[in-house]
Structure 1
Amino acid sequence: MAAEAQAPTAVLETAKRFLASFDRPARILVAVSGGSDSKGLLLALHEAIEASAPNTFSLTACTVDHALRPESAEEASAVAAFSATLGVAHVTCRWDGPKPGTGIQAAARDKRYQLLSELAERVDASAIVTGHTRDDQRETILMRRQRGEGPGGAGMADATLYDRRIWVLRPFLDVDRAAIRAFLAARQVGWLDDPSNANPRFERVRARAQLADAATADTGAWDARLRALSSAHAAALLERHVRVHDGLVAEISSSGIGQCLDGDGQRALLALASVIGGRSHLPPTETAQRLSRFLEKGTPGRMTAGRVVFDRRASGLYLYREARGLLDLALQPGEAGLWDGRFRVHNSGGTRLLVTVEGGRGPQQERLIAAGLPPGVAGRASLSAPRIVSENGENVASVTIEPRIGLYDTFLPGFDRIMADRIAGLFGRQRYLPPPVHDLLTEMER
């Protein structure tokens, strides 16, 4: 049988397997732009539910109108009309307000996930699903490779936790776009083509053009299972060799330093550095290489990279935030904010508060010394420790402060969940929300 004839059946069977992966009945929020991928996803899920689980699952469709093109509102209405023919509830969420002059695709993505997650909460959805395909995966791998992202650069996960509260699932990551279009064509269903998908000013469009060239079509091997195993190994290394003090200092035992030179150990070290430095991404490859050279020397000394000081001593390796670029944060009563990318602070009192730096020789330095850190490390680390003062300059206690794990708190790929949970524990945080489906970690534990 030709591939074209097999495609409709393969798409529907993928949707059925996806539904079978849920561990409980669910309402699913489907992000539908009107393009072939997302429209095929909605239709396949609808048919799969009707065929095998009509009383177990329900669907809500959502179109995010980014208001970037005059025809976007009409396109959202067309998706609503298509959803109505399936008996599926549809909601349009519009991005109102001014748009940035640069980085528009990244900003649109961030706004899209924000609006989708807010709607998911309102309709009590168990998860958001998107129509990303194997084609999108190949483009993502190529883009990340060309950016020179640090160790562990990877493809998209089939499950990603957004904002610590809702899982975004991608059931079609192993399905080609051509198969989805064949599925729609077999049912005489059309789709919309977004003109931005042909605009070469966007990175993904350029990557797509490169992949169309046979000479660059090979994006390299990517195996999510191997990445999950790598994360599990990195988590074990963190468990054995790392302690974190008050969210300020990561202490790596002298016996564990050698395991941080490459591979899983290096990725674990760079993940720690991202959190200590208040960053949302791993340091680039150049930083990783420079850090390896520094550690290979085996002699005491300090190196600074990505706002983090790597302080090598006979007793171990210590990571702490360098004392520069630390800006104050003012919080009104009842207001919350992010200080230095490292701490989420909520003012639960009745007066205006200021989050500033301790500046050394304060109670934080004394606590770090009492925890067994070398006085020099405690002194330097306390220079970047947060200090909360009221508007009259007095220390206050009516505040909640929690370490932020920027690397995972906005987007946590499912294949990194075991390492993310371990890092959360080191920083005194609870584990992340588990997904509503059987994922890679579930399979690995069987």
Structure 2
Amino acid sequence: MAVVETAKRFLASFDRPARILVAVSGGSDSKGLLLALNEAIEATKPTQFSLAACTVDHALRSESAEEARGVAAFCESLGVPHMIARWDGPKPRTGIQAAAREVRYALLADAAQRFEASSIVTGHTFDDQRETILMRTQRGEGPGAAGMADATLYDRRIWVLRPFLTVDRTAIRTFLTDRKVGWFDDPSNVNTGFERVRARAHLAFSPETGAGAWDARSRARSSVAAAALLERHVRVHSALVAEVSPSTAGQCRDIDWRRALLALTTVIGGRAHLPAAETVERLVAFLEQETPGRLTAGRVVFDRRSTGLYLYREARGIEDLILQAGQTGVWDGRFLVRNDGEGPLSLTVEGGRGPQHERLIAAGLPPGVAGRASLSAPRIVSRDVKNVASATIEPRIGLYDTFLPGFDRIMADRIAGLFGRERYLPPPVHDLLTEMER
């Protein structure tokens, strides 16, 4: 059957034996994935792969606990170790689906560590892919907007794999029905207050809308090209200033260069998402003028001079971060900070004319650029006169540090290198970029 054959091909893509954690909600997609993987392993590689499963109980409905116990019983019948991870505590009144997604992946990553699994798999289908593409199109996302990747690195520590992105839900449900396996239907799937539900209804009414406009291979090629442009034209100083060579003038309409520049903008600005389409158009109009001047967009100053284009964080809206001894936090979205001292400390702005300013001057940056950029540089201040402040500060790449789509890995690695960071963890499976690197 196509569902099981897809699972077999997925297992064949691994470069070594592995334990896989399956995220199982009790719905048809995830139960079908678990069952198909279990059959595929038994039929082809029983000594090379093993499964574990985790059900995240978001505790948003009274029935969720009972449904999770039902999944546990199903996993036990297959001989698959299973655990329930519950989202305890207060829930936000708005943005509940986004918050639930963040919690879900964090709990799944913890479960994977507990089971010593090398990856997490989820039951996202071709139907989910079509919905995602439609939603991102309707939002008017800027260049590089795409569907879901079949592999995504979460939190810089574990890969989330989606082997069923080419399989439609009807095939999975037929597979389950043939095996006489039932499933739960989450009532939130018909709540039109959620964007995905509205997209699903639109696609049901307009079935000609599909995923044909999304080509993962083209996105991967674009990421490779963008990485090469970054290597050729960009230097980053002290994780504060991106210096772009003047030879890039006039290239802002090139889609690969725009993606590279917008990724830099996002990191310099401490954001997790690329700028909105209207911001992109305003920036492109500024860059096309090719005359000296400054523009602020996405919390980033674009300072164009005869020597090149300089990007640095605008010096406003930067809040202090207070950390107790041993605590870790994120300052301004740009730096991950760990308090290594014995007393509390705060992260604030340098304010100019400090060590960071001197480093930027020594790097050969124009004094005006160095002065403005250092206004938003981090400074450690002890909050306890009895203890000397000590902290580890690492540049944070908000665009990729939580969720890195596999087809952007080459570009993400190049950006990480520019900011003095190690490369990201490679995926455990052969992907598009693996083919391109050969």
What TM-score results when the alignment is normalised by the length of structure 2?
A: 0.98
After superposition, what is the alpha-carbon deviation per residue over 1:78-104, rounded to whole angstroms, capped at 9, x for unaligned? Answer: 111111111111101011111010111
After superposition, what is the alpha-carbon deviation per residue over 1:156-214, rounded to whole angstroms, capped at 9, x for unaligned? Answer: 00000000000000000000100101111111111110110001000000000000112
Equivalent AA in structure 2 for residue 57 of structure 1 = F
Equivalent AA in structure 2 for residue 381 of structure 1 = A
1:333 shift after superposition = 1.0
1:444 shift after superposition = 1.6
Q: Distance in 2 between matches of 1:215 and 1:54?
A: 40
What residue number does 1:245 align with? 237
Task: Give the alignment partner of residue 409 of structure 2, picking from 417, 425, 431.
Answer: 417
What residue number does 2:431 align with? 439
1:54-203 matched pairs, under 5 angstroms: 54-203=46-195
In 2, are the aligned partners of 1:261 and 1:295 still within 8 Å (CA)?
A: no
Q: Distance in 2 between matches of 1:299 and 1:179?
A: 57
2:282 corresponds to 1:297: no
After superposition, what is the alpha-carbon deviation per residue over 1:394-423, rounded to whole angstroms, capped at 9, x for unaligned? Answer: 996621000000000000000000000000
What residue number does 1:224 align with? 216
In 2, are the aligned partners of 1:388 and 1:395 still within 8 Å (CA)?
A: no
SS in 2 for 1:299: coil
In 2, are the aligned partners of 1:275 and 1:406 still within 8 Å (CA)?
A: yes
What residue number does 2:205 align with? 213
Task: Give the alignment partner of residue 419 of structure 2, picking from 406, 411, 427.
Answer: 427
1:372 shift after superposition = 0.6
1:319-358 matched pairs, under 5 angstroms: 319-358=311-350
Equivalent residues, number: 438
1:147 shift after superposition = 0.7
2:19 corresponds to 1:27: yes
After superposition, what is the alpha-carbon deviation per residue over 1:196-254, rounded to whole angstroms, capped at 9, x for unaligned? Answer: 00010000000000001127624551000100000000000000000000000000000
Q: Distance in 2 between matches of 1:370 and 1:232?
A: 32
In 1, are the aligned partners of 2:252 and 2:288 still within 8 Å (CA)?
A: no
In 1, are the aligned partners of 2:341 and 2:387 still within 8 Å (CA)?
A: no
1:133 shift after superposition = 0.2
In 1, are the aligned partners of 2:55 and 2:85 still within 8 Å (CA)?
A: yes
1:352 shift after superposition = 1.3
Q: Distance in 2 between matches of 1:228 and 1:255?
A: 25
Indicate the larger mover: 343-352 or 311-320.
343-352
In 1, are the aligned partners of 2:351 and 2:375 still within 8 Å (CA)?
A: yes
After superposition, what is the alpha-carbon deviation per residue over 1:129-178, rounded to whole angstroms, capped at 9, x for unaligned? Answer: 00000000000000001111111000000000000000000000000100
| Root-mean-square deviation over aligned CA pairs | 1.3
SS in 1 for 2:244: strand
In 1, are the aligned partners of 2:343 and 2:384 still within 8 Å (CA)?
A: no
What residue number does 1:255 align with? 247
SS in 1 for 2:399: helix
In 1, are the aligned partners of 2:350 and 2:379 still within 8 Å (CA)?
A: yes
Q: Distance in 1 between matches of 2:212 and 2:77?
A: 42
Equivalent AA in structure 2 for residue 366 of structure 1 = E
Distance 1:303 1:46, change over 3 A: same
In 2, are the aligned partners of 1:283 and 1:306 still within 8 Å (CA)?
A: yes
In 2, are the aligned partners of 1:389 and 1:395 still within 8 Å (CA)?
A: no
Equivalent AA in structure 1 for residue 263 of structure 2 = A
What residue number does 1:5 align with? none
Structure 1 residues not aligned, in runs of 5+: 1-8
Task: Give the alignment partner of residue 234 of structure 1, picking from 210, 226, 232.
Answer: 226
User: How much identity, in percent, do the aligned residues show?
Assistant: 77
Q: Distance in 1 between matches of 2:277 and 2:254?
A: 11
Q: Distance in 2 between matches of 1:214 and 1:341?
A: 40
What residue number does 1:391 align with? 383
Equivalent AA in structure 2 for residue 380 of structure 1 = R
1:362 shift after superposition = 1.2
Q: Distance in 2 between matches of 1:312 and 1:433?
A: 35
Equivalent AA in structure 2 for residue 93 of structure 1 = A
2:400 corresponds to 1:408: yes
Q: Distance in 1 between matches of 2:387 and 2:308?
A: 34
Q: Distance in 2 between matches of 1:307 and 1:432?
A: 26
Task: Give the alignment partner of residue 362 of structure 2, picking from 365, 370, 388.
Answer: 370
Distance 1:123 1:219, change over 3 A: closer
Q: Distance in 2 between matches of 1:422 and 1:260?
A: 19
SS in 2 for 1:388: strand
Q: Distance in 2 between matches of 1:394 and 1:227?
A: 54
Distance 1:348 1:373, change over 3 A: same
What residue number does 1:3 align with? none
Q: Distance in 1 between matches of 2:335 and 2:136?
A: 28
Indicate the larger mover: 226-235 or 255-264.
255-264
Structure 2 residues not aligned, in runs of 5+: none
1:351 shift after superposition = 1.8
